[in-house]
Amino acid sequence: MLFLVLSITFGVNAQKVTWKYTTEKEPWKKGTDLSFKNSSEKADIAIYPDKKLQKMDGFGACFNEIGYEALLSLDEKTRQNIITDFFTKEGMNFNLCRMPLGSNDYSLSYYSYNDVYEDFDMVNFNIDRDRYILIPYIKMAMAKNPNLKIWASPWTPPAWMKVNNHYAMGKYNDAMPIDDKGKFIRNNATAFKMEERYLQAYALYFSKFVQAYAKEGIDVSIVQVQNEPVYQPQWQSCTWRPEDIAYYVGNFLGPQFKKDGLKTEIWLGTVNTSNPNFTRTVLNDEKASQYIKGVGFQWDAKHTIATLNKEYPGYKIMQTESECGNGENNWGAAEYTWSLMHQYIANGASSYMYWNMILDESGKSTWGWKQNMLVAVNKETKKVTYNPEYYLMKHLSHYVLPGAYRLETSGGKDHLAFVNPNGEIVLLVMNQDEKNKIVTLAVNDKQLSLQLNGKSINTFTF
């Protein structure tokens, strides 16, 4: 895979074009500087600098407990080097990252911020556990990038707020979720106890979370209501009908945030269904829609973003969790992630989130799913490996700055183009062919010939 970043400023004379590329054996290498020439011939790729599309908010990944544990197995210098590579302008320049609101499948164990049964007034709410794990992890990153923004979503409410009284929904491990007929709760039903006292308590739970983190010096910019509400796995989860999400947001969560004067945005997400009617139901609700500022999509929802972006142009779109693979961590995984990045961003997403930044090299979740990561740590030998997806993300996030706009282009699905706030143009080009190939690029009346290595990612800037 080859990544190319192109930065060009067009004036009377053609300016220098810089090139960075990555192949499996040669990651993050500087290519030969190039120059544009006057030409009116038809090119393989055309960029239209005056045709700006969505404004980009940024790129990032998720802070998880198991990742922090892997990081802590290393010496302090190595830890800092890795965090520098993620969060500085010289590195990946991540500026928008996710965290779980309570536990998830990459937490060390089940927990919530209030496990005291039917504590509707949230007297016992606390984030004490996070002060030892997630907050130090986030603050390591913020020390490198003080402008880092954090957003959060729950995988599950406190277990006592759910009809199965358990963190999980699936049939494995110690989870025993059953409805009144003795069957498993299905993904078209709501697993939350839809009584007013539980809904009000859960709104207060969200508000207290935002306020508690603010006291720790971490402003949560966005909360999304539920991770994957159409899924009932054997890890932390909670299904919701869209009508019930709308009812919760419009009558409880939104009013609670307004009452408490919180600036944190409420988003619908993270939507994981290929049925666009799920999102439509919530956004068409008169009460809920007045509080919702954006929509987060992941997994099967990728099939709906093109349609929903056209139908609801007033809402920002975030890709909330890049599909996690099965521990391959190879070039093929990077090529697949590129296809996801292109699909989401080309259809209107203004931000893209990877999943786990750092894990031990097994990549195992608490229940044994081996997943991919950007950086792998061998906790025994202390070897640190930067996987191909790290460089894929870096080819985008290092160059495309917050406030950039995607530019309209022609010439297929193997590229994306942006213009940064300073006028710099960034072109990301993928060559998935085994062989080298030449691609011609046109911008206005100027043209450039690009020699792309086989299986490479390229970034050109000008």
Q: How far apart are CA 310 and CA 363, in angstroms?
A: 37
* pLDDT at res. 39: 83
* pLDDT at res. 187: 65
130-172 pLDDT, tens digit each: 999 999 999 999 999 999 999 999 999 999 999 999 999 876 4
Q: Which two tokens stand for residue 354?
A: 């990877």
Which residues, other chains included, contact 7 with Cβ-Cβ below 8 Å and sequence gap of 6+? Answer: 17, 18, 399, 424, 425, 426, 460, 461, 462
* pLDDT at res. 41: 83
On the CB side of 425, how many CA atoms lie within 13 Å of its CA?
25
Coil, helix or strand at residue 437: strand
Is residue 157 within 8 A of residue 165, CB to CB? The reply is no
Angle at alpha carbon of residue 279, lines to 95 and 418, rounded to 5°: 35
Q: Which residue has the tokens 């197995």?
A: 73
Q: What is the CA radius of gyration of the chain?
A: 23
DSSP for residue 236: B
Is residue 415 within 8 A of residue 409, CB to CB? The reply is yes
Residue numbers of the chain with a pLDDT score lower than 70? 1-14, 171-187
Cis preceding linkage at 270, omega within 30: yes
Nearest to 59 by CA among 335, 338, 396: 396
Q: How far apart are CA 202 and CA 248, in angstroms?
A: 9
* pLDDT at res. 15: 73
* pLDDT at res. 174: 46
Q: What is the pTM of this model?
A: 0.93
Q: How far apart are CA 45 and CA 439, in angstroms?
A: 8
* pLDDT at res. 182: 41
Q: Which residue has the tokens 């090139």?
A: 19
Nearest to 323 by CA among 341, 303, 349, 304: 341
What b-and-e string marks burial along 8-42, b requiring 16 or more CB atoms within 10 Å of the CB?
bebeeebeebbbbbbbbeebbeebeebebeeeeee
89-137 pLDDT, tens digit each: 999 999 999 999 999 999 999 999 999 999 999 999 999 999 999 999 9
* pLDDT at res. 171: 62
Query: Distance of CA 160 to CAs 165, 203, 208, 460, Å?
Result: 5, 15, 18, 53
